[in-house]
A = this chain, B = another copy of it.
Amino acid sequence: MPYLMVQIPKTSAPPPPAQRSVPTSADVARLAGVSRATVSYVLNNTSAVRISEPTRRRVHQAAEELGYVPHAAARSLRAGHSRMVLMPAPDVPVGPLYSQFFNELQWALSRLEYTVVQYGGLGLQGDEAARAWAELRPVAVLAPGGGLGPRGVSVLKRSGARAVVTLGPERIEGAHALLMDHQEVGRSVGAHLLARGYRRVGVLVPEDPGLEIFSRPRLEGVRQALTGTDATVTELPLAYEEKAAADLAGRWRSLGLDAVFAYNDEFAMLLMRALQDEGVAVPDETAVVGADDLMLGRLLRPRLSTVHIELPSGRELAELVDRAVREPSAEPEARVVLGAEVVHRESS
């Protein structure tokens, strides 16, 4: 891609700071005329030691003047633990639903004076990932998705993590579990379609890598809901591309389906457009149901039936992490935190 390179003109500013040495608490102590211990008490807001207001002010002024900031790592080495909550960065683009959930959680943890750090360990898997996270010595780890095993949990705990909380379909030994079982999403859709009289149900399974951890349990949930009935389930792999959707729509009538669970609202929009372009009437010939309850589903015509997914509030979750940190030897808890409810609109 084309870009323009511009040299920033030199200014008459002081010499580049990178060449000065990094100021230490000893420098601050010298400038303020106090001991290093006093600097530490003041800047770490220790309440155990009484320090006069003028001394406090002098220390703060000296730190400001020198551009000194405490070193979190040094502090955590001294304290034996950090206030860092580590969350592995998700390695698939997250939708608006999860974005909002994570933002809320970050806010809530910040208010409890934790520093939330998302670790971009893309490509690292399982125990290898756990060792990489452990190197940062977080006080708690909040790990979404699968991948982390009992061994990884143990590595983290032995490196000083007081709490390991997983978000996913299963409990991992030694860790608190927030059970997010996407089978529930599929089950709710299966039950809905059955109740509406549909019997030949297709289920879209995105071909995009990384989505299996959601799409597999959603498919499985539909199967469970239809087990023991005369309804059938047909698995429909689909890439998130117009051409792939058009191809699928082109052979739609040969599939003989009367309903389709389209994985989520975005895939539902893609497929519904392709079906409509092909002249397949929704819902008269085929019902379509999405999931996630995004705005775009309400804007489609017919309006899209979907699944509203309930996640725990960020505050609830932050409080759980905080409790777990303060009681590291408590028994691991498991909570079911994903609720799923069909929102019936016009497309099913």
Contacts and interface: CB of A to CB of B under 8 A. Distances in A.
Interface of A: 1-8, 10-11, 13, 16-20, 22-23, 66-77, 89, 91, 93-94, 96, 99-100, 103, 106-107, 109-110, 115-123, 131-132, 134-137, 150, 154-155, 157-160, 162, 171, 173-174, 177, 240, 242, 266, 269-270, 273, 295-296, 298-299, 310, 312-313, 316, 328-329, 331-337, 339
Indicate how many identical chains form the complex: 2
Nearest to A131: B69
B72 A136 contact: yes
Nearest to A161: B18
Contacts of A296: 266, 269, 296
A4 to B, nearest CB: 4
Given A1-B316, A73-B73, A109-B120, 7 more contacts: A1-B312, A3-B312, A13-B173, A72-B137, A89-B118, A110-B120, A273-B299
B157 A18 contact: yes
Given A20-B158, A335-B4, A93 B93 contact: no
B334 A158 contact: no
A110 B122 contact: yes
A10 B136 CA distance: 29
Contacts of A76: 73
A288 to B, nearest CB: 13
A106 B89 contact: yes
Contacts of A16: 157, 174, 328-329
A329 B18 CA distance: 7
28 contacts: A1-B310, A1-B312, A1-B313, A4-B335, A5-B334, A7-B331, A8-B333, A8-B334, A17-B174, A18-B328, A22-B160, A67-B154, A69-B159, A72-B135, A72-B137, A73-B136, A75-B135, A93-B99, A93-B100, A93-B103, A109-B120, A110-B122, A116-B119, A117-B117, A117-B136, A118-B120, A242-B295, A270-B299
